[in-house]
């Protein structure tokens, strides 16, 4: 077997891991700024519009987290298609993928808007959302859903930008949310508007700016492609769509079930915990969530890296990345553990402390999530996404059961320990076995082809290969359709040795409503 020259070192500025470093660093800067502006916004809302307005703002801002399914798995389809393209400006397959995605998102946006209007007309919002709604809060809730629905098709731009390997651009664009909300609040204060009911709508408008910025960046970066895809949207007969179910369905399923596993800890603690367990858990999550959020953002930046490697016929193992990320997570987690006892009395006003078991459980959680991310990002072709479905379904059951059993004896640490054990058993180990088996399959194919390489992406009958993206009869991979323009295939796959940069750093979480997730990663607790 002929081995070609290794790819540039990930540690170099020109290495293929540079986008991952940039995304992590951008997250640090953006979330730090968002934290400062978030404090200003809190002061403005409570001081000028009252605590009821602040409570309603917090309540309505949870809509996106309650609807993680709104992109219907489309983000995974777009990202794989864009990352695998060698000529994004003129790629007919990507054009059809984008056309299909926009059609689906427009249809679902119409459904969301209709539901919001119907709930408003029937006066059902107070029954659904409880007594925290202000007078006129039903209209506010409807307007929030309408703004959210209008922005949903625009989220295509974020998927394209990340697929191009520009995750840092997408992260930086999120930095406009909190400052934009601050400007709108100050305008309302200066003009003496009674805008208590308008505050949640302002936050949704501010988040829409992210999608607008990314759609502009994607439009300019792809040349005529995005415009042509948009023009094809109403041409249902002339411009055929593509099959997206192979990638979208597993991604959608995960986005539906993962919140059940990891967003119910507080609910379980409220039923099973005693004393200050819930408050301790909340404070620990605010601190260690800085690390887990950065891990998630950095993980998304790895997705196009592995997708492009598949499209170019390169065989890249994620195991070194997983080990490096786990080590980095352990280092940052232990550093935070050391300083937390000094910070806790200030943050809690001396009312409670965080037990060491809770701190250690959070460090372990960071390490496990960091180790899992590169493996999950490697498994983002249709085969890999399908392979993730069963482990994710099992992890939901195991995590809930373990958390229920462990909360009485371990308090706030119980749900974290339950999560760590269930993720190791149901995700980390199965993912590792699947990846190892897939690497053996690809290397065996490489040896059997005598260095000629596969005929195209997904050359194997199961569609999980790592062939060139622009080979003869190119498959969409994510979309499952073919392009009629045959082109010459590259010579064959390369075996690339890789490491992971150690510059990924923690970030500060953003409290504003966020767009629908591009990939079913574990949500913020």
Listed by start position, the domains of the chain span 1-242, 273-465
What tokens appear for 198 in the block? 């308008």
Averaged over 299-307, what is the pLDDT?
A: 77
Predicted confidence (pLDDT) at residue 458 exceeds the cutoff of 70: no
Cα separation, 244 vs 249, whole angstroms: 8
Give the N- to C-terminal CA distance of the chain in Å, as an integer: 47
DSSP result, 410-477: HTTHHHHHHHHHHHIIIIIHHHHHHHHHHHHHHHHHHHHTTT---SSTT-STTS----BTTSTT-B-S
Q: What are phi and psi of 426, to 5 degrees?
A: -100, -15
Residue with the two structure tokens 């769509």? 241
pLDDT band at 448 (very low <50, low <70, confident <90, very high): low
Cα separation, 376 vs 299, whole angstroms: 8
pLDDT band at 168 (very low <50, low <70, confident <90, very high): confident
pLDDT band at 299 (very low <50, low <70, confident <90, very high): confident
Report CA-CA distances (Å) from 515 to 159, 199, 203, 230, 330: 11, 18, 12, 21, 29
According to the model, what pLDDT value does residue 16 have? 59
Q: 285: exposed, middle or buried (C-beta count within 10 Å: 0-12, 13-18, 19+)?
A: buried
Cα separation, 169 vs 250, whole angstroms: 27
- The string of pLDDT tens digits covering residues 49-69 is 887 888 788 778 767 765 655
Residue among 259, 412, 410, 311 at smallest CA distance from 86: 311
Q: Higher model confidence: residue 194 or residue 9?
A: 194
Report CA-CA distances (Å) from 59 to 55, 134, 304, 457: 6, 11, 34, 45
Cα separation, 45 vs 34, whole angstroms: 16
According to the model, what pLDDT value does residue 281 have? 82
Least confident of 32-41, 49-58, 65-74, 432-441: 65-74
Q: 397: exposed, middle or buried (C-beta count within 10 Å: 0-12, 13-18, 19+)?
A: middle
The angle, 0 to 180 degrees and rounded to 10, between the axes of the packed helices 156-163 and 199-221 is: 50
Q: Rounded mean pLDDT of the chain?
A: 75
- CA 339 centroid distance within chain: 29
Cα separation, 264 vs 275, whole angstroms: 19
Instruction: Label residue 480 left, alpha or beta by phi (over 0 means left) and psi (-120 to 50 means alpha).
Output: left
Q: 228: exposed, middle or buried (C-beta count within 10 Å: 0-12, 13-18, 19+)?
A: middle
pLDDT band at 437 (very low <50, low <70, confident <90, very high): very high
Cα separation, 69 vs 251, whole angstroms: 9
């Amino acid at each position: 077997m002929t081995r070609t020259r290794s790819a540039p070192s990930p540690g170099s500025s020109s290495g293929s891991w540079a986008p991952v470093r940039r995304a992590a660093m951008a997250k640090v800067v953006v979330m730090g700024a968002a934290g400062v502006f978030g404090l200003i916004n809190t002061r403005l809302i409570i001081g000028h519009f009252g605590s009821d307005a602040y409570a309603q703002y917090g309540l309505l801002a949870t809509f996106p987290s309650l609807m993680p399914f709104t992109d219907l798995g489309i983000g995974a389809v777009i990202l794989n298609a864009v990352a695998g393209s060698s000529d994004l400006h003129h790629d007919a397959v990507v054009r059809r993928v984008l056309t299909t995605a926009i059609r689906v998102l427009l249809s679902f946006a119409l459904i969301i808007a209709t539901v919001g209007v119907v709930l408003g007309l029937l006066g059902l919002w107070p029954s659904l959302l409880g007594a925290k709604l202000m007078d006129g809060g039903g209209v506010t809730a409807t307007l929030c859903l309408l703004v959210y629905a209008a922005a949903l098709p625009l989220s295509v731009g974020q998927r394209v930008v990340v697929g191009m390997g520009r995750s840092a651009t997408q992260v930086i664009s999120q930095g406009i949310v909190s400052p934009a909300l601050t400007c709108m609040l100050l305008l309302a204060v200066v003009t003496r508007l009674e805008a208590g009911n308008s505050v949640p709508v302002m936050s949704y408008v501010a988040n829409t700016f992210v999608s607008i910025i990314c759609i502009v960046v994607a439009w300019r970066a792809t040349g005529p492609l995005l415009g042509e895809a948009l023009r094809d949207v109403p041409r249902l007969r002339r411009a055929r769509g593509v099959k997206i179910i192979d990638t979208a369905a597993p991604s959608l399923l995960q986005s539906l079930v993962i919140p059940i596993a990891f967003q119910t800890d507080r609910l379980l603690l409220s039923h099973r915990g005693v004393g200050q367990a819930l408050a301790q858990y909340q404070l620990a999550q605010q601190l260690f969530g800085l690390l887990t959020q950065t891990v998630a953002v950095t993980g998304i930046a790895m997705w196009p890296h592995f997708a492009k490697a598949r499209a170019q016929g390169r065989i890249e193992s994620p195991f070194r990345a997983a080990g490096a990320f786990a080590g980095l997570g352990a280092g940052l987690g232990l550093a935070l553990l050391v300083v937390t006892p000094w910070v806790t009395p200030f943050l809690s006003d001396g009312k409670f402390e965080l037990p060491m078991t809770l701190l250690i459980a959070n460090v372990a959680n960071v390490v496990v999530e960091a180790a899992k991310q590169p493996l999950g990002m490697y498994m983002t072709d249709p085969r890999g996404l399908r392979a993730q479905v069963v482990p994710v379904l099992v992890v939901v059951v195991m995590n809930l059961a373990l958390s229920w059993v462990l909360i009485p004896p371990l308090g706030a640490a119980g749900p974290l320990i339950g999560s760590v054990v269930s993720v190791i058993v149901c995700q980390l180990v199965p993912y590792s076995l699947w990846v190892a088996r897939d690497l053996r399959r690809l290397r065996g194919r490489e040896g059997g082809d005598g260095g000629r390489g596969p005929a195209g992406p997904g050359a194997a009958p199961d569609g999980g290969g790592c062939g060139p993206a622009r080979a003869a009869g190119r498959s969409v991979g994510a979309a499952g359709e073919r392009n009629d323009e045959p082109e010459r295939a590259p010579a064959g796959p390369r075996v690339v040795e890789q490491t992971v940069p150690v510059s990924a750093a923690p970030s500060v979480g953003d409290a504003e409503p966020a767009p629908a997730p591009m990939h079913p990663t574990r949500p913020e607790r």
